[in-house]
Chain A
């Protein structure tokens, strides 16, 4: 797309660690030493199995958690330390997150118009009630909902409609960075396509960058400029979409790509995917360092593993 790789990145994450201490004997290392950058106008796809730490990265970036370690720079500003009230307010509009579980992130007692209009209200981004309504109706239409929907409560929607309310809420403020966490997973293919096309249009118009978290690799392939593959909190492989899809190096990435289902019943009923099990793989993620494959393509592993992976 029109991603701008020359200037400074809109988001730089360096050595991010996010640990959760669940009990005295159980600490979850949800994110372990992860670094990546996103440039203005770029879409960075974050993929990986359930529980690999994708949402946690998103939530750390918008500062729902205090990072255990690491540095997060947004638009040139270090946001991993304490931030002032005014910076925090600016941040809340410039960076938006579309949450994975729409029911849990939408206030059940608020009408949809007030949920979507909240950002407008805080920033007094309209001069009259009718302008507010017009803005809300316009964004509703863009995500495929009707003006009549605005007076309903979240529970009065279908799952996919609710997901689109979350999308509309994030898009209405024209943020610089949108963290989209599985934001289209509950949508049928046609509306998925509509929303993805809409996100691309908005990116063209405003130069917004996306951190696109998803497990659906065919959609990630379609929307992303670059991709990062996450497993057990480690960012194992990153590169442009073509680099990853045409030359997956890490065995985990390879198993992930081989498991993409095809919409062909006879084939699908007979197919088995390449299997991968970390425990029996003999790999140790904590020992890995970034190895350069080509272009912007890197793999995290040891020297010996790198030789093995690339010898194929």
Chain B
């Protein structure tokens, strides 16, 4: 990896509201994320916690009913002649972003492939489009590269498939076409929003391998949004855990998996299905996510947190630093807080995972 770490993306204090008929929805409430060249960061968190909206903001493609209350999204890149540039995406208009950033320097694989594919255009054309538009790649060359990409994402009969329309492909094939489109213009930053949800494990492994190879060859940075902690375990250097529009815990991969500190992260890890147990019912985090229409003071997770302190209902906890790389927003980390341990079952499970890892000859 790079010797002197180069920061490529820096999201600071991002705060976004959506206007709806039922009232304003405060979806993003002060998000900070940074990402260095060549690194892989995962964003995990409950459905509706704000993962996709955060990244759509970075791509400059928020929905029309959004209001950005505050924040900066600094993206660093190099011009063709090598001179460095740093821009705040939030100050740029859509047209500029489309010309200079989207697809070319920052590419996103969307969660719902049908929303980013054009149903009336063959998939071949759609993969070639970006190369031709951004780099004036000759048609034949773009065609060849598109076929090559289709093969790389594991689509058989690639030449024949070039002429297919999206509805003629299976769900997972469509998802892979979107990945091929994202890789077609060699972006510096690849944002993958649930890139492998519709894929079986073998093809998932292939895609992850492909992204990792591209990353090694070209030193690009990758953001993975995923709920699949198996994928996170495989790819991520760092993990951000999001809850109700905020990052509540961040750390390197081992810190999050083997030494989680936020009760929400405990819940998330406990809810992972485990092939070694035969429980009749799966564990779920009790209660439901907060209604972002009606904001309450204090820690948004408190109502669902069996370790909540009185203070949690009054004041929002700041990020407490645990190590250089690890921090979490929970009052449990305040020196005055009573000492609370993670649930015993999770503790046992982590112990078991550590043992398995050791038995496999790895140091933690």
Measured CB to CB, the residues of A under 8 A from B are 20, 22-23, 26, 47-51, 54-56, 100-104, 144, 146, 148, 151-152, 155-162, 164, 181-182, 185-194, 196-197, 200, 215, 217-219, 221-222, 255-256, 259-270, 273, 276
Contact = CB atoms under 8 A, between A and B. Distances in A.
Specify which of A56, A160, A192 lies most central, judged by the most chain B CB atoms within 10 Å of its CB. Answer: A160
Interface of B: 18, 20-23, 44-48, 51-53, 63, 65, 111-115, 154, 156-157, 160, 163-164, 168-174, 176, 193-194, 197-205, 227-234, 236, 253-254, 257, 267-269, 271-275, 281-285, 288-289, 291, 293, 353, 356-357, 360, 362, 364
Contact of A156 (B20, B23, B173, B362): B20
Contact of A158 (B48, B163, B170): B48
Contacts of A20: 168
Contacts of B253: 265
Contact of B227 (A48, A187, A261, A267): A187
B205 A265 contact: no
A222 B113 CA distance: 27
Contacts of A270: 360, 362
B47 A26 contact: no
B275 A187 contact: no
A294 to B, nearest CB: 21
Contacts of B204: 261
A260 B198 contact: no
A279 to B, nearest CB: 9
Given A158-B48, A189-B227, A197-B282, A217 B356 contact: no
Contact of A101 (B171, B272, B273, B288): B171
A194 B285 CA distance: 9
Specify which of B21, B45, B293 lies most central, judged by the most chain A CB atoms within 10 Å of its CB. Answer: B21
Contacts of B113: 101
Given A49-B203, A261-B230, A267-B356, A191 B46 contact: yes
B236 to A, nearest CB: 8
Contact of A55 (B53, B112, B171, B281): B171
A217 B65 contact: no
A7 B31 CA distance: 56
A22 B20 contact: no
Specify which of B113, B200, B281 lies most central, judged by the most chain A CB atoms within 10 Å of its CB. Answer: B200
Specify which of A160, A186, A190 lies most central, judged by the most chain B CB atoms within 10 Å of its CB. Answer: A190
A55 B364 CA distance: 42
A182 B198 contact: yes
B202 A261 contact: no
A103 B114 contact: yes
Contacts of B283: 190, 193
Contacts of B173: 50-51
Pairs A-B, 10 closest by C-beta atoms:
A50-B172, A160-B47, A261-B230, A188-B227, A266-B357, A193-B282, A215-B200, A259-B201, A265-B233, A159-B111
A259 B202 contact: yes
Contacts of B281: 197, 200
A260 B275 contact: yes
B252 to A, nearest CB: 10
Contacts of B356: 264, 267
17 contacts: A50-B170, A50-B198, A50-B200, A101-B171, A157-B48, A185-B197, A186-B194, A186-B197, A188-B44, A196-B282, A221-B275, A262-B233, A263-B269, A265-B254, A265-B357, A267-B353, A267-B360
Contacts of A182: 171, 197-198
B272 A263 contact: yes
Specify which of B114, B115, B230 lies most central, judged by the most chain A CB atoms within 10 Å of its CB. Answer: B230
Contacts of A48: 200
Contact of B112 (A152, A162, A190, A222): A162
Nearest to B51: A158
B115 to A, nearest CB: 5
Contacts of B52: 158-159
Contacts of B163: 22-23
Contacts of A263: 229-230, 232-233, 257, 269, 272, 353
Contact of B171 (A26, A100, A261): A100
A35 to B, nearest CB: 21
Contacts of B172: 49-51, 215
Contacts of B257: 263-265
Contacts of B114: 101, 103-104
Contact of A185 (B48, B65, B198): B198
Contact of A186 (B18, B111, B115, B360): B111
A221 B274 CA distance: 10
Contacts of A196: 282
